[in-house]
Structure 1
């Protein structure tokens, strides 16, 4: 054993010496080649380390989950966010491990069905996106914003390719998180990421209210200041849009409350986190975010105990009345859906028009939809008669409208199968730990509400949370 150790040590020293010699020679002859060679070697070493222990990459990606807009990577003309890039890299590593039979799956029946259903949705999505495009290509005039029909097809394929990220998450989380200790690590890294973006949100508020340059913000940050009411700055954080940022913050608040119950972090730290997140949420001035927090909290309290629920309803009602009465900004947010001013009315009208267009698409192709990624291309053709012709790409900005228009009844059927599996997992959690169950139900309802004003269902941070639900029941059964 000692001789093997000495041999390995000798080989390692020889490897380092040889590598250093090659780098030194190349540096003197071809400096650029030396840099590329060094970067390749470092990348290979990192790959080997992560191949052996991929959970480190999963936890790193979990920290970066909310970086959906800023610091994005441009690859082949497509913009890829940091969490998506990390998840795709993780997927490649898991694929290599599977080729060498290193992966050891231990999935619940519900988790297997979700993965199979989602994989079926991916295949169906890609095929019908292309088929539906060529079916209507001759009848639809090329939009002014598109360079060519080919660019539309490529854009649609890229959009579908991004949908592989949730599948990687669904596979990676149960594969790599197998013990209670790993589970706590995952939650800690999720909270670490939310702490970073919460602090960044406060930093963004300071920069914008001080009138400083956008150069002080992260690369890729929205290059315009969104205002609410009489000039109040709205925070968009790392998401580029206040409503999307608010949706993440609300879910993060529930994760922090859950972490308090599990006692995996300091109670003082988590209370501070929740307080900061509530401040950031307030500064997004997102009606959807406010509503999601209120509804999710009420559902959480209801399932926590009826007596506690009714007492909490009374106290929350008093707090809500005081906020609306004495804080003008809160009052304006509450009244925003009924605001008839030019800016707000324009936003509401646009949301209404895109939703109606999605319904028209579904009516025209109810079985298989118009194909994911084709909404912008077909919007003007299916827009309501009262809507103006758009010269820029449009999105449904509503997950439900986007889903039924893109996938039709086939997609809804696959989604129903996935929904049933989540329901079964939640039932198992309720049986084995009634204390945790209210948190999951409340958090799920917040997501369902924010989906009414979200651009996509493929955000990785949502699917990490979904995977937690699917695997939590299995961990509780083993205890």
Structure 2
């Protein structure tokens, strides 16, 4: 007992000393920081928030990551206003949160190295290694480093999801946390619709910076809500099931209002797979759904007339799909044969887009297709390693089939949904969407490990 008390006291002393030192540094740097930031009010929040993060990192890392998962879904509407360009690099509270996520993952691994999932980490290693080479090869080093740190944060949140799930009940709690994160965005979106919807051109973006990002976030939370409603493991009470069901119905309506066609298709496929595997009576409703949706003018316009809501008319008289195809063809034709192996470097697509795409105007366009982007930036090797990551994770999740087939199906649906929408959008740079995706998948992978351990114990 005395040894344990000594360890606790020693840890608290080290943690307190660390926090005290950081507080001194922040206090001493504040006058210089205020001068550099030009007195921008929102950025004056960064130092005290940094101190709060440091305190939580020292004393309660689990709490800080739970808070990030719960509230990051509403962060974009606030965090964008805190960005300030300093030395050509944009910094703000969002960047601070990204660093915190990386730090939490690092500290969790340092604290409990035996829990580190080496096999799962190896799934990531080829892609991350090739992407790192892409940084060295990039024509835009600062942007490439930022992009690589973003990719690294996806791996970090994946590892965090694994570390937080130590029992099947923990898995259920992590899924509930992700679903709870939708409450404020859903409410905000309802108010946004009431205040601003005037005609069929309205696209709902909620608390996110673009309607597509909101749509992909909903595409993630809707299947997880379905899991909570249907699961037999730590099931919701009647009241909780009613609340989650109502929230899911509202999210489905809001998904339509985002007018993001790829998300509609992916959502329909997910429910179709669920209906075929678990409840075939839902097939009848799914067959009716397209006809009902076509009764809505905005949905009908988006499906029938692809010319609608095209943000690039000023550069080319093409509909959104034709414009994307033209962009992809231009990029692939422009590529040198030798570059198909390792690409032009991370973030090179946007850098070169005004060169190879005559309809680009004055804008450096993203690829709007992850597969084309990766092929262009890190070559066939990078694209294959990216796809191999998803394939290997999906194969690993097969361990859930006998124990919890619904969790397996929902986890696979998240992967399928991501790969579907990745064919027509810049999903790799949508940080919040990717965080929730990899956190949920990491939790599912951890559940596989728990199931395997449980089966091994019973066999022995």
- TM-score (ref. length: structure 2): 0.77
The 1:85/1:105 distance shift into structure 2, 3 A limit, reads farther
> Does the 8 Å CA contact 1:110/1:470 hold for their aligned counterparts?
no
State the match for 1:391 in structure 2. Answer: 362
State the match for 2:227 in structure 1. Answer: 258
Pair 1:56 & 2:63 matched:
yes
State the match for 1:382 in structure 2. Answer: 356
> Does the 8 Å CA contact 1:51/1:93 hold for their aligned counterparts?
no
Cα separation, 2, equivalents of 1:260 and 1:237: 24
Cα separation, 1, equivalents of 2:101 and 2:293: 45
State the match for 2:282 in structure 1. Answer: 312
Task: Give the 3-state SS of the residue equivalent to 1:411 in structure 2.
Answer: helix
State the match for 1:356 in structure 2. Answer: 329
Cα separation, 2, equivalents of 1:340 and 1:39: 37
State the match for 1:168 in structure 2. Answer: 156
1:308-345 Cα shifts (integer Å, max 9, x gaps): 43x43333212322332x33333222213376999594
Cα separation, 1, equivalents of 2:368 and 2:64: 31
State the match for 1:299 in structure 2. Answer: 273
> Does the 8 Å CA contact 2:327/2:367 hold for their aligned counterparts?
yes
> Does the 8 Å CA contact 2:203/2:259 hold for their aligned counterparts?
yes
The 1:80/1:462 distance shift into structure 2, 3 A limit, reads farther
Cα separation, 1, equivalents of 2:309 and 2:53: 56
Q: RMSD between aligned alpha carbons?
A: 3.6
State the match for 1:236 in structure 2. Answer: 205
> Does the 8 Å CA contact 1:128/1:371 hold for their aligned counterparts?
yes
The 1:127/1:466 distance shift into structure 2, 3 A limit, reads farther
1:159-207 Cα shifts (integer Å, max 9, x gaps): 3332221121122222233233432332222112112111111121123
Deviates more, 1:81-90 or 1:460-469: 81-90
State the match for 1:276 in structure 2. Answer: 250
> Does the 8 Å CA contact 2:65/2:101 hold for their aligned counterparts?
yes
State the match for 2:393 in structure 1. Answer: 422
Among 422, 426, 431, the alignment partner of 1:455 is 426
Pair 1:121 & 2:94 matched:
no
> Does the 8 Å CA contact 2:171/2:444 hold for their aligned counterparts?
no
State the match for 1:222 in structure 2. Answer: none
Among 71, 74, 99, the alignment partner of 1:88 is 99
Deviates more, 1:262-271 or 1:114-123: 114-123
Alignment of 1:19-418 (within 5 A): 44=51, 46-67=53-74, 69-72=76-79, 73-74=82-83, 76=86, 78-79=89-90, 85-95=96-106, 101-108=110-117, 110-129=119-138, 133=139, 152-209=140-197, 231-262=200-231, 263-264=235-236, 266-304=240-278, 308-309=279-280, 311-324=281-294, 326-337=295-306, 345-360=318-333, 364=337, 365-383=339-357, 387-418=358-389
**Offset of residue 366 of structure 1:** 0.6
Task: Give the 3-state SS of the residue equivalent to 2:216 in structure 1.
Answer: helix
Cα separation, 1, equivalents of 2:322 and 2:91: 30
Cα separation, 2, equivalents of 1:339 and 1:90: 39
Cα separation, 1, equivalents of 2:173 and 2:408: 20
Among 469, 472, 475, the alignment partner of 2:444 is 469
Structure (1 or 2) with the larger CA radius of gyration: 1
> Does the 8 Å CA contact 2:168/2:447 hold for their aligned counterparts?
no
Cα separation, 2, equivalents of 1:287 and 1:39: 38
The 1:184/1:88 distance shift into structure 2, 3 A limit, reads farther
> Does the 8 Å CA contact 2:186/2:251 hold for their aligned counterparts?
yes
Cα separation, 1, equivalents of 2:407 and 2:47: 46
**Offset of residue 70 of structure 1:** 2.3
> Does the 8 Å CA contact 1:64/1:82 hold for their aligned counterparts?
no
The 1:193/1:466 distance shift into structure 2, 3 A limit, reads same
Cα separation, 2, equivalents of 1:85 and 1:392: 28
Task: Give the 3-state SS of the residue equivalent to 1:233 in structure 2.
Answer: coil
The 1:433/1:94 distance shift into structure 2, 3 A limit, reads closer
1:94-136 Cα shifts (integer Å, max 9, x gaps): 43566xx42334244541322423432342231222xxx2xxx
1:256-277 Cα shifts (integer Å, max 9, x gaps): 1112233246101101110110
- TM-score (ref. length: structure 1): 0.74
The 1:297/1:78 distance shift into structure 2, 3 A limit, reads farther
